[in-house]
Amino acid sequence: MKLLVILLFLGLLTGCSGNSSYSLTPQLLLVSFDGFRADYLKNYDLPHLQNFIKEGVLVEHVTNVFITKTFPNHYSIVTGLYEESHGIVANTMYDDVTKKHFSDSNDKDSFWWDGAVPIWVTNQLQENRSSAAAMWPGTDVLIHNITPSYFMNYSSSVPFEERLNNVTTWLSSSNPPVTFAMLYWEEPDASGHKYGPEDRVNMSRVLKEIDDLVGDLVQKLKVLGMWDNLNVIITSDHGMTQCSENRLIHLDSCIDRSNYSVIDLTPVAAILPKTNITEVYEKLKNCSPHMNVYLKEDIPDRFYYRHNDRIQPIILVADEGWTIVLNKSSLKLGDHGYDNSLPSMHPFLAAHGPAFRRGYRQSTINTVDIYPMMCHILGLKPQANNGTFSHAKCLLVDQWCLNLPEVIGIVISALLLLTMLTGLLIFTQNRVPASRSFSRLQLQEDDDDDPLIG
């Protein structure tokens, strides 16, 4: 025990006397592979990713936010907020007050993003720190009037290699140093939509390519001498489920198009009625047994998807694997956006580095819990958020971690010990007057032992 304290003290001393806060400021790289469904890890061969996990931590299922789309979930990761609170409530939005439109190709207006302060902004408001980003949604937009110090304008055609090279350059040689960086890649989402997650042949090819990119990432960090000191989180925004031309919901068969505008279509349709909301609702309500139709005020609490002007008066939520269409079938074989309680919609999270334990696994956290964990690693005071730091405690080396099974184990052991002690007490008390047989037994044993000792 004393030795441990001395060792710790020595460690602290050498840490402090070393050169500047430069080397002590923790660095974090946050990586997202879009649409990486949690169970791909179990169902496909991913040796590089498994090696990364072996030396770090894995969260098997991350419960993401509703709606399970790309822009909203990426913004929840970096803000810790539900969609109704950060304001990016879909990939396609319309604001009836300002008449503004948002889409993935028209996303640069700060209006849409300023409802929250993402972690890269908070990080940059600290002295001597900067942030860097390669294509993470929102990082090429002025948010609260700043962008990351280093960023790329979004272009899907920039290869992974270039994104990785530039991010590692920024992480290793900037002044003030980049302490927080983000790296985004469009796969396996694009292929998941194209082939559907049940196309094992095509998906295993795609996932092998992604696994090789993870291998390149680790290799690059090792070559640059950054592997041991950099914290790396690899995660995703959502999963993917199989769709089919046999599972279509035709809105045109229920309601005249002139009665409403479709802001977003599938699998969660955002409906803006042109006339009487109740009339439109009545027409849609019984349109299909494979979707739920909600007036805005009746959207279930568990979605945390109501208190925002950008959420339309009526939303339709298709059942898993069903696709909402107007009259034609514009079908993708895979899709996401569905109920966030569906396992197929969940991504995973893996992490490696000095802040993380080694070889630890836990079954779940929430997407909104990632933000307070990242703030803790970077030593930032978090903005108000919907995450819970303690959910991620067990992943971190510097936290006391007692999970439920361990607590139960300790309580049971304590109870057992207590019972045994009580039993022993009662036993000895009862047996004290009549302890002859006990002594005889002891004597016999001593007799037996004697020759051996002698």
Ligand X SMILES: *[C@@H]1O[C@H](CO)[C@@H](O)[C@H](O)[C@H]1NC(C)=O
Of residues 250 and 357, the one with the C-beta less far from ligand X:
250
Distance (Å, whole) CA 437 – CA 431:
10
Q: E strands, 72-177, where?
A: 93-95, 100-102, 130-134
Task: Verify binding: residue 83, Zn ion, rule CB under 5 A.
Answer: no
List 28, 34, 214, 392, residue binding Zn ion (CB under 5 A): 34
Task: Verify binding: residue 297, ligand X, rule CB under 6 A.
Answer: no
Residue recorded with tokens 């990119």: 213
Helix (H) or strand (E) holding 58: strand 57-63
- CA torsion, points 274, 279, 282, 283, in degrees to nearest 10? -60
Candidates 5-13, 42-50, 147-155, 345-353: pick the segment binding ligand X (CB under 6 A).
147-155
Residue 396 is classified by DSSP as B
Judged by beta carbon distances under 5 to 8 A according to partner kind, the member of ligand X, Zn ion, none in contact with residue 252 is ligand X
* Encoded tokens for 392: 């991620």
* Encoded tokens for 274: 């042109």
Task: Verify binding: residue 270, ligand X, rule CB under 6 A.
Answer: no
**Residue number with the smallest Cβ distance to Zn ion:** 70
How distant, in Å, are the alpha carbons of 88, 98, 262, 336, 367 from that of 112?
Answer: 7, 11, 19, 22, 20
Task: Verify binding: residue 107, Zn ion, rule CB under 5 A.
Answer: no
At residue 249, the 3 state secondary structure works out as strand
List 27, 63, 70, 79, residue binding Zn ion (CB under 5 A): 70
Task: Verify binding: residue 340, ligand X, rule CB under 6 A.
Answer: no
Candidates 79-87, 177-185, 343-351, 370-378: pick the segment binding ligand X (CB under 6 A).
79-87
Q: How many residues bind Zn ion (CB under 5 A)?
A: 5
* Cα dihedral across residues 186, 192, 197, 200: positive or negative: negative
Judged by beta carbon distances under 5 to 8 A according to partner kind, the member of ligand X, Zn ion, none in contact with residue 312 is none
415 CA to centre of own chain? 38
Task: Verify binding: residue 202, ligand X, rule CB under 6 A.
Answer: yes
* Encoded tokens for 173: 């040689």
Kindly name the residue from 70, 179, 235, 266 that is annotated as catalytic: 70
Asked about 70 being catalytic, the answer comes back as: yes
Candidates 30-38, 65-73, 275-283, 354-362: pick the segment binding ligand X (CB under 6 A).
275-283
Residues near ligand X (CB under 6 A): 19-22, 81-82, 85, 127-128, 151-153, 158, 162, 166, 195, 199, 201-202, 252, 256, 258-259, 274-276, 278-279, 304, 327, 384-386
- Active-site residue numbers? 70
